[in-house]
Structure 1
Amino acid sequence: MTIAERIQSQLDTLTRAERQLAHSILENYPASGLGPLSALARDAQVSAPTVARMVLKLGFKGYPDFQAELREELRAKVQSPIAKHDTWAEGAPSGHVLNSFTEAVIDNIRLTLAQVEPALFDAACALIGDTKRPLFIVGGRVTHTIAEYLFLHMQVVRRGVTHIQSTSNAWPHYLLDAQEGDVFVIFDMRRYENNTLKLAEMAHEKGAKIILFTDQWRSPIHSVADICFSNRIVVPSAWDSMATTLLLVETVISAVQDVNWQTTRGRMETLEDMFDQTKLYRKFT
């Protein structure tokens, strides 16, 4: 587990001062804990013994071990594909890649779902399915593919859906129509993109609701997100895995289609009629 995941899993067991410290760490994670212990205590407005006590609760021998883990997480956040490949190659698991890769993906799914709060997931689906709120879907250089997948299905499920390419010079145009209460679903994984962060910040300033799909280290966008889903993405490859993110997205699609099923069903029937008229799909009967 990352330190953020450890903190989130133990929030209910922390004292008031420790919870104050936990939220301070998470606000600028993982950089918040890289300075001296006294600086972290001062920023969180707690005592130094509170910091030392919580570090022990998180399973570390002391503050130096806590910082060493944070530095390792920070290094992992910025790894290039070549560096990730070399990391896995140094300790290549035995057995066929089909087995080792699948085991990594299954672990990612298990660990991710353990961190997803059902109430937050339901709240995200309610926002995405609320037809009174325009919906904007945003992906980056790699994540645009999964953003397009969600967009394609949401076009069928509801009206008022816009797909924004965050790498496009035209994305500020989309924000002209954004208003308070609009919903932005944003995908941003490690090697986080500056364009996507700026877009999220500007949407937040307009009062939009932001639902973020990110990795276990969390994109900087999490600081302005209303709901954040942290997905495990590490596999024995130079590339990160989107399998867990796709699982969550397909679950969102399944849940949102039922939010306003009668309307969704009517849209599906109309679309199927269009497919028949255009002969898009072959008919075997």
Structure 2
Amino acid sequence: MTKEPSKIQISGLVLDRIRDKQAELTAAERRLTAVLTDDSLVAGLQSITKLADNAEVSTPTIIRLARKLGYDGFPDLQNAIREEIAARMKEPLAKLAPPTATDNKDHIVSRFALAVSQNINATINRIDPAEFDAVAHLMADPVRALYVLGGRITRSNAHYFFNHLQIIRPGVHLLDSSPSVWPQSLLDMDENATLIVFDIRRYEKELQHLASLVVGQGANIVLFTDQWGSPIEKYASYTFRTSVEVPSSWDSTLAINFLIETFVAEIQTLYSSTDRITALEQMIGESRIFRSN
């Protein structure tokens, strides 16, 4: 007998549904969603009366919100929350299921490519074009200093984005991976600064603490995270959620790189970098770093 797919797979993530329905919610319902999203839905695992007390709403408000989000009631919403939290907290080794007989018919290259293409399509579907444009203009503004930082797995994404941004425009800084040197950068962050941070599953506490300090300095944050959402979301002015699951014990950051390269293309059209790139090419020629033809 084929196992019936879970409701969360059919209906989408609870956090995405909350975001999509915000404009339709009452004041009490928005207060309730703020409590749910403040701690990545964990508050939703409480009893309905305890959740109502914490959010200062009535139990019927919780039931109405669950139905507005597309669930049959609060127990159905709780089941979706449990499943979402379980998926988010899944250890890397637990993601690598043993192969079955049917798996052997399909090569890993094909299965991996299919998963990556699905991740990119899901990521595209989450993008708000107006939000994307606003962030592209923000990153192309030479008055605004940009600071880029990634976590243990996403550090390579941060380096990749930094390498492109510093060629296109001035005022781009790559933060060192060691938290001990972050205060020097924090000193220069103000309302004209933006921290671009990458943080996916097994979210790093040091990055979250840094985000709170950055906001305290008056700067804003652009966050690239996974489909479940890093805790840094509550500090970020803009968040881009990407899908990361593939047939591997590791999460894939290819959807993040897709967004990075899309931003690079748009930023280059917004900020005229011809003179800067020409000067760079001249410096490269004079330094004789590369072989000449």
Partner of residue 35, structure 1: 46
Which runs of structure 2 are paired with 1:143-162 in the superposition (5 Å)? 143-162=154-173
Partner of residue 124, structure 2: 113
Instruction: Give the TM-score normalised by the residue count of structure 2.
Output: 0.88
Query: Is the contact made by 1:167 and 1:195 (CA closer than 8 Å) also made in structure 2?
Result: no
- Specify whether residues 53 and 161 from structure 1 end up closer, same or farther in structure 2 by C-alpha distance, changes over 3 A only: same
The letter of the residue matching 2:32 is: L
Q: Does 1:21 pair with 2:32?
A: yes
User: Structure 1 residues 252-261 or 94-103, which shifts more?
Assistant: 94-103
Partner of residue 200, structure 2: 189
The letter of the residue matching 2:164 is: H
Partner of residue 221, structure 1: 232
Coordinate RMSD, CA, aligned: 2.1
- Specify whether residues 173 and 92 from structure 1 end up closer, same or farther in structure 2 by C-alpha distance, changes over 3 A only: farther
Partner of residue 187, structure 2: 176
Q: Does 1:231 pair with 2:230?
A: no
**Alignment length, in residue pairs?**
281
Q: Does 1:257 pair with 2:268?
A: yes
1:272 pairs, out of 256, 281, 286, with: 281
Query: Is the contact made by 1:120 and 1:227 (CA closer than 8 Å) also made in structure 2?
Result: yes
1:7 pairs, out of 18, 22, 44, with: 18
Equivalent-residue separation in structure 2 for 1:197 and 1:155 (angstroms): 25
SS in 2 for 1:273: helix
- Specify whether residues 53 and 121 from structure 1 end up closer, same or farther in structure 2 by C-alpha distance, changes over 3 A only: same
SS in 2 for 1:257: helix
Partner of residue 67, structure 1: 78
User: Structure 1 residues 228-237 or 54-63, which shifts more?
Assistant: 54-63
Query: Is the contact made by 1:84 and 1:237 (CA closer than 8 Å) also made in structure 2?
Result: yes
SS in 1 for 2:192: coil
Query: Is the contact made by 2:194 and 2:219 (CA closer than 8 Å) also made in structure 1?
Result: yes
Equivalent-residue separation in structure 2 for 1:218 and 1:46 (angstroms): 25
Q: Does 1:76 pair with 2:87?
A: yes
Equivalent-residue separation in structure 1 for 2:112 and 2:20 (angstroms): 27
Query: Is the contact made by 1:21 and 1:44 (CA closer than 8 Å) also made in structure 2?
Result: yes
Query: Is the contact made by 2:143 and 2:192 (CA closer than 8 Å) also made in structure 1?
Result: no
Structure 1 residue runs of 5 or longer lacking an equivalent are none
1:42-98 CA-partner distances (Å, limit 9, x unpaired): 333332112112212323233223222212222222222211213x75898552212
The letter of the residue matching 2:202 is: R
Equivalent-residue separation in structure 1 for 2:263 and 2:134 (angstroms): 11
Sequence identity (%): 37
Partner of residue 152, structure 2: 141
- Specify whether residues 33 and 90 from structure 1 end up closer, same or farther in structure 2 by C-alpha distance, changes over 3 A only: farther
Partner of residue 96, structure 1: 107
Query: Is the contact made by 1:136 and 1:163 (CA closer than 8 Å) also made in structure 2?
Result: yes
Instruction: Give the TM-score normalised by the residue count of structure 1.
Output: 0.91
